[in-house]
Structure formats: C-alpha cells, structure tokens
Chains A and B, each alone.
Chain A
Amino acid sequence: MNYSFQFGEILANGDLLLRGLKLTVLLFVLAFSGALVCGLFIGVARGSSRRVPNLIATAYIELFRNTPVLVQLIWFYYALPALSGWQPTAFTAAALGLFLNTSAYCAEIWRAGLQSLPAGQWEAGRAIGMSEWQLLRRVVVPQALARMVPAFTNRGVELAKMTSIASTITVQELMYEAKMLSTQTFLPLETFTVVAVIYFVLIYPGTLAAYALERRLNSKGA
C-alpha cells in the first residue's frame, strides 16, 4: 500500500462542499421539525381505539417504513408529477419524502411514549374534566418527552445521514457536491473522507445536545 492522500485539492474546493452542506442542513431541519409535530398526530391516531383513524395511521406508517426511502424520493420526484400534474422541484420532493418518511417513524415513537404513561395519569386528567388534547399537552407529553428523547435522537441522526439520498434526485446537497467533486478531481477517497468528517461534525453536537436535554428533563420534578 503506497497511497499518499492528497487533501489539498479537496480543501481548496471547500466552498462547494459548504454550499451543499447548507442544503443538507435545510433538508434536515425542515423534515425533522415537521416530522416531530406530524408524528404526534399520526401517533395519537395510531394509538386510538377508533377504527378509521387507527387504520389510516397504521397504513401510513407501514407503507413508509417498509419501502426504501430511495424509492419514495424517486416516486415523489418522478411519479407524482405524472399522476397529479404537479411538478415539485427536486428539493421540495426530497424534503417532502424525508418529512413523510420520518413522520412515520416519529409516529411510532410518539405512540410508544404516550402508551408508556400509567393509565392512572390519563384517568386523573379525565376525572377533572380535561379534554384529550389538554391531557396530552399538560399531562402526557411533558412526562413522556424525557422517555422519548433517546428514540427521537436516533431518528434525527438517521435522518441527517438519510438526507444524502436526496443527491440521487439531483438535490445539490453535501453528498451531491461530493460526488461531483470526486469525479472532477479523481480523488474519491479524500473527498468522501472529508465528507464523513463534515457529517460527523454536523451530527455529533446534536447528539450531545440531546443527552443534555435528556438529563435536564429527567431531573425535573423527579
């Protein structure tokens, strides 16, 4: 083995990668914040004893969890326009696909979190006349949140890396720029090593923040 790494040329094109990084972050923020909120509604429906909402939520979750996210993005970008006449930009299609996919996973986290609370907490809220949404907002979510943070963190980390799939439908995010750069420079090893470091530097502080949040939530009132 006599390969000598040449990082100089990659670092010289760092602005390309940084430009891609902006889109990566934007994709992540849009899809994750949307999925956290949307997941709550789907999760509540999934945990509901009412037949119709339960059925719809279950079908949604299973559809998105059991098909490859790559296919989902391609479908939103290429098949949806053919069926609906609405042509989303590559970025919109990617954001939409990642958002809907992550919502399905978040819904399951919400459902499990909501169901982890003792039945007595729901009963106590109902007994003083709270509506289901008041119960969720005031009693259930504040208590379930601490238990759900690790699972949400996992999902967030997964999503941050999953944004790279958007490159396949021509979204010019970090991975897309990296592929371009590697074919231009013939230095794939160096390019993707740098990209890996960038992903790590992007994601790791997030997990640290999540640990801190978890500690704070767990110490409150307990």
Chain B
Amino acid sequence: MANVLPADVLPADATPVLAVEGLRKSFGTNEVLKGIDLKVGAGERIAILGSSGSGKSTFLRCINFMETPSAGRIALDGTPIGTEGRNGALTAKSGELRRLRTRVGMIFQQFNLFPHMSVLENVMEGPVTVKGLPKAEARAKAQDYLKRVGLAEKADQYPQRLSGGQQQRVAIARALAMEPEILLFDEPTSSLDPELVGEVLDVILGLSREGRTMLLVTHELGFAYHFATRVLFLHEGRIHEQGTPDEVLKNPREERTQAFLHRFSAFHF
C-alpha cells in the first residue's frame, strides 16, 4: 500500500498555501484520482511524477478547476474553493472560478497561445481583459515579463513564427503577468523537440530561485531533481511515495517507484 512519508515539510501551525484533501475525480465510471491529500507550503516546488494514466495531469487540472473534482476539498490560503454539491462533487460559481484562476496560473503542454494576437498582446490579454489594467501599464508589465523569459525582442511577432520553446516561454510570461500565487506546469516540455527543452527548463529554474510556489508534472527526471523541493510519485490515482528529490529519485522505497525510475534509466550509457 501507499507509504506516505510523514515528511510534511510545513510547520504544524502554518496555513498551507494550497491544501488538498481526499481529492477524487472520475470520468464516467473510470475513477482517475482515488483520494489525494496534499499540503503545499509557500515557496514549495513540487514535481509530480508517474506513468501515463497515473492521474498526474488530472490532479494538476483539478487544482485550478479545469476539471471539476468529483469529491474532496481544495483550499487556497485556508479558504475552501467551491461548495460540495448533492452528489459530493465540488461546484464553484463562475466568479469564484475566475478569482481562483487569477491566483493559480497554468502552463499547458501545448502552449495554447492565442494565434490571432502578437506575443505582447498574448501576455497583456489577462491583465487588460481580466484584471482591467490600463493598457500602457499592462504593456510595460508584459514587456518586463517577456524580458524575464528572454523574448523581449519577439514582442511584435505572432506565435506561429516562434519555435515551440519560444512559444512555451511566452506562455510562461502570459501566466506570470497575472501575478499568480501558485504556478501549475502540465508537462511543459513534453511536446518540444529535444533541443528546445533546455531553454524552457532554464526559465522554470530561474523562477524557482524567486521563491515561487510551483507544481510541475514532468517526465524529465533530471530536471525534477534540480527543480523540486519535494517529489510526488503518483500511481493509480494515489500518491504512492513522496519525499525530497534525494529520497524519491535516488533511494525510492516503493517497488513501483523503483520500477518506474528503472524504466527511465534503462538506456543510460
């Protein structure tokens, strides 16, 4: 059975930035998440690993309600999100959802930039349309964030003209421009050509030095090791093992985790 480490890195009295309790998610009769508990302290960087079908992306998407949890509780800074409906599923009003999503940013595997807007407009869109910032202010801010991801000179280009790595960096800038408290990365490098992975990971590592709270689903074990303060291994919809990167990635205690890691190292030479 899952052997969850007692290693809750939070001091007992601190309110977690994000608290997940008994989170379940089913698609029809297929239960993907079977009860996940997680407390995330401010500034923690959590890497979520697991084979495909383990529920790691679904878990991430439940946190900002891109998927509606079928059961359980999710709280930001101690405030629960949504209310429990009759069938146990969480429901949130659209206003609450929008507030939640301005506080919890998300970066997708497929970047999902808006193709009809320039790079700069992509980054300005949230601050202007959602937060109502004056355009000049939003523009200055967007240029700032584009500089942070190393793409200041691409501001006036359209996304189609950019490489995948550049597009993903713009997507990161777009999420940052909302100044979220938590950033969720859903396999941010999985659809990139191998030579483009590095530039995206560099940007994410740069963010980690700023003390941002981040959760990242990834298959890049080496990156997870350097990035994370805590590593979760998901298996069949549950947290099967968790701990520091050294504990989980170098000395995994669970057989499943060992087998998973072994598959990745099978071709080392």
Contact = CB atoms under 8 A, between A and B. Distances in A.
B178 interface: yes
Q: Which of A124, A134, A138, A143 has the most CB of B within 10 A?
A: A124
B64 interface: yes
B115 A221 contact: yes
A132 interface: yes
B66 A123 contact: yes
B260 interface: no
Given A120-B108, A123-B66, A128 B125 contact: yes
Contacts of A120: 108, 110, 112
B116 A128 contact: no
A121 B114 contact: yes
**By DSSP majority rule, is chain A's interface helix, strand, loop, or mixed?**
helix
A153 B100 CA distance: 41
B213 interface: no
Interface in B104-163: 105-106, 108, 110, 112-118, 125-126, 129-130, 158, 160
B114 A128 contact: no
A131 B126 CA distance: 11
A129 B127 CA distance: 10
Interface in B72-131: 94, 97-102, 105-106, 108, 110, 112-118, 125-126, 129-130
Given A128-B101, A129-B178, A220 B126 contact: no
B164 to A, nearest CB: 14
A197 B188 CA distance: 60
Interface in A131-164: 131-132, 134, 138-139, 142-143
Given A120-B112, A121-B112, A142-B116, A131 B98 contact: yes
Nearest to B98: A129
A65 interface: no
29 contacts: A120-B108, A120-B110, A121-B112, A124-B108, A125-B114, A126-B66, A127-B66, A127-B105, A128-B105, A128-B125, A128-B126, A128-B130, A128-B175, A129-B98, A129-B99, A129-B101, A129-B130, A130-B129, A131-B94, A131-B98, A138-B129, A142-B116, A143-B116, A221-B115, A221-B116, A221-B117, A221-B118, A221-B160, A222-B160
Interface of A: 118, 120-121, 123-132, 134, 138-139, 142-143, 220-222
